[in-house]
């Protein structure tokens, strides 16, 4: 399949272009992205950063209000600076370039174009990749620096100290932009520490690069959080930093974590069968179960022929994959966070076949067919481009700046559509972000109630608001007879004027 007359560089550029076109087409076909996280914080955090809302609003997106906003900026800017569907299509094109990185990684392990083509095809069929193309989810954008780091770490120049250093920088940038990329850092450390030429010096270079990359990506943001809250990763790990404005302990999301060793080992089977233990919505993916079979297949091949059938670089990749998977399953077990392994799983399967089976191509094609046959794409929420969703807040007749109390999730995306100069405060009963007694958030809320804006004070909620402990605490009382509503992504969204006790705070009963 090697085309004569084509240089390697031209071939690589072509694959990157094809990947971009593929991502653009998937985005256009899928429609306007309206996923839950976009509604809750992807849109808000980018807008808040560009308008520096941190001294005005009181965590409208809950705990996600304080995540590093840089990773959300590309999608936000593309979708606000360009008309639909161009912004979403351009975002999908950028995300699609990750497939070009799979190509260059595959070429490091085999000069066979068939091997690289099949690796890219397997990556392009991943259910998480397909459903995230053109969306605000940062996992595909974060996958790009991770894959660059993988390429540098496993390249044929991997013994070069500069290459290892830069691998650490790129992976550090990915982790700094989004902490859920941390499992790949552990995978890189394991692969570099055990198999990289140069021994401890290579590991030190990787670590130094990781620190540098992480500092570049998130250092200024962590310094801001440290200065303001005394916690550089606020509100997370507050059991360690003990910021008085955060939760009393460490925030965790155990919804998808396996319970016990049996579930830990059976998750690939559950994912194969479409039981989706690692996502909120249905999907299926056979590649992880196939990798489990490949582990047994590899063990048999090693027993017959010894470890020599695999090159040191092969063993690096296997270890990177295995450690990243294990750490991901122990830390998060959220399927979107493992999209890098989804893109590399086909490459690993094909590599095992390439090294152990003389006529590997028929088995490789069969594996790809099984992957395509067994995968079931998820959908996090879309509107058709012909009938896009726009929050028509103008229909509310609210023209003056006001204070808006957000009583539910996800609603923070409405902030940039309401009158400029408004304030946004979350007192959602479902939020995991507390409002401690005598803390900064409480003081700001009481100040807003004592000094109302010209547009008054309003609640925002799905359905008409009910009294909650937080509403009692601040003496808030919605006037249900004067509520107004607009269409939401799902249920209608209600805006109700709020009155409050002019003497200030009312303690809960």
pTM above 0.85, yes or no: yes
With residues binned 3-state (H G I as helix, E B as strand, rest as coil), the percentages for the chain, rounded to 5, are 60, 5, 35
Domain ranges of the chain: 393-500
Per residue of the chain (509 residues), what is the pLDDT tens digit? 455 446 889 999 999 999 999 999 999 999 999 999 999 999 999 999 999 999 999 999 999 999 999 999 999 999 999 999 999 999 999 999 999 999 999 999 998 999 999 999 999 999 999 999 999 999 999 999 999 999 999 886 555 678 999 999 999 999 999 999 999 999 999 998 876 666 788 899 999 999 999 999 999 999 999 999 999 999 999 999 999 999 988 998 999 999 999 999 999 999 999 999 999 999 999 999 999 999 988 888 888 888 889 998 999 999 999 999 999 999 999 999 999 999 999 999 999 999 998 889 898 998 889 888 889 988 999 999 999 999 999 999 999 999 999 999 999 999 999 999 999 999 987 777 989 999 999 999 999 999 999 999 999 999 888 878 889 899 999 888 899 999 999 999 999 999 987 554 544 33
Retrieve residue 437's tokens: 């007694």
Q: Are 150 and 316 in contact (CB under 8 A)?
A: no
Retrieve residue 113's tokens: 């174009």
Omega cis (within 30) before 420: no
Measured CA distances, 481 to 173, 398, 495 (Å) = 51, 17, 11
End-to-end CA distance of the chain: 75
Residue located via tokens 């799905």: 462
Q: Are 130 and 173 in contact (CB under 8 A)?
A: no
* 136 vs 70: CA distance, rounded Å: 12
Longest dimension (CA), the chain: 83
* 320 vs 337: CA distance, rounded Å: 16
Closest CA to 141 of 153, 151, 132: 132
Distance of CA 498 to the CA centre of its chain: 36
Omega cis (within 30) before 235: yes
Q: Strand pairing partners for 497?
A: 458
- 484 φ, ψ (degrees, to nearest 5): -125, 155
Measured CA distances, 120 to 283, 330, 497 (Å) = 21, 28, 54
Q: Are 403 and 457 in contact (CB under 8 A)?
A: yes
Q: What are the residues whose beta carbons fall under 8 Å from the beta carbon of 283, sequence distance 6 or more? A: 127, 128, 131, 271, 274, 276, 335, 375, 376, 377, 378
């Amino acid at each position: 399949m090697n085309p004569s007359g084509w240089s390697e560089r031209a071939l690589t550029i072509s694959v990157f272009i094809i990947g971009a076109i593929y991502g653009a087409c998937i985005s256009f076909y899928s429609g306007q992205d309206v996923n839950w996280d976009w509604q809750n914080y992807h849109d808000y955090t980018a807008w808040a950063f560009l308008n520096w809302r941190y001294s005005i609003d009181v965590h409208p997106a809950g705990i996600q209000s304080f995540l590093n906003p840089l990773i959300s900026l590309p999608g936000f800017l593309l979708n606000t600076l360009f008309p639909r569907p161009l912004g979403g299509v351009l975002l999908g094109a950028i995300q699609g370039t990750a497939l070009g990185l799979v190509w260059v990684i595959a070429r490091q392990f085999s000069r066979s174009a068939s091997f690289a083509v099949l690796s890219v095809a397997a990556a392009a069929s991943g259910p998480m990749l397909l459903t995230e193309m053109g969306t605000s989810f940062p996992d595909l954008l974060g996958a790009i620096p991770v894959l660059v780091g993988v390429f540098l770490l496993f390249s044929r120049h991997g013994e070069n100290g500069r290459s290892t250093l830069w691998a650490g920088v790129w992976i550090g940038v990915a982790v700094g932009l989004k902490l859920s990329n941390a499992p790949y850092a552990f995978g890189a450390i394991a692969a570099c520490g055990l198999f990289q030429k140069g021994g401890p010096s290579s590991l030190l270079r990787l670590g130094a690069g990781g620190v540098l990359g992480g500092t570049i990506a998130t250092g200024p943001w962590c310094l801001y959080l440290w200065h303001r809250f005394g916690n550089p990763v606020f509100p997370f790990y507050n059991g360690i930093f003990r910021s008085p404005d955060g939760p009393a302990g460490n925030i965790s999301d155990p919804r998808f974590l396996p319970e016990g060793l049996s579930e830990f080992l059976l998750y690939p089977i559950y994912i194969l069968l479409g039981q989706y233990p690692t996502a909120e919505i249905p999907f299926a993916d056979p590649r992880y179960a196939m990798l489990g079979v490949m582990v047994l297949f590899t063990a048999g091949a090693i027993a017959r022929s010894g470890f020599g059938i695999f090159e040191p670089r092969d063993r690096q990749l296997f270890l990177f994959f295995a450690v990243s998977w294990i750490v991901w399953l122990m830390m998060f077990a959220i399927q979107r966070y493992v999209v890098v392994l989804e893109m590399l799983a086909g490459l690993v399967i094909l590599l095992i076949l390439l090294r152990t089976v003389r006529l590997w191509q028929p088995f490789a094609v069969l594996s790809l067919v099984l992957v395509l046959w067994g995968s079931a794409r998820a959908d996090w929420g879309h509107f058709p481009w012909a009938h896009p969703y726009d929050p028509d807040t103008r229909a509310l007749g609210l023209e003056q700046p006001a204070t808006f109390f957000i009583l539910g999730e996800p609603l923070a995306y409405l902030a940039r559509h309401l009158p400029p100069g408004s304030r946004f405060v979350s007192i959602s009963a479902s939020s995991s972000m507390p409002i401690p007694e005598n803390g900064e958030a409480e003081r700001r809320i009481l100040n807003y109630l004592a000094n109302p804006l010209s547009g008054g004070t309003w609640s925002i909620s799905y359905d008409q608001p009910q009294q909650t402990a937080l509403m009692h605490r601040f003496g808030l009382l919605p006037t249900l007879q004067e509520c107004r509503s607009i269409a939401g992504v799902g249920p209608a969204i209600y805006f109700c004027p709020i009155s409050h006790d002019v003497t200030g705070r009312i303690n809960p009963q």
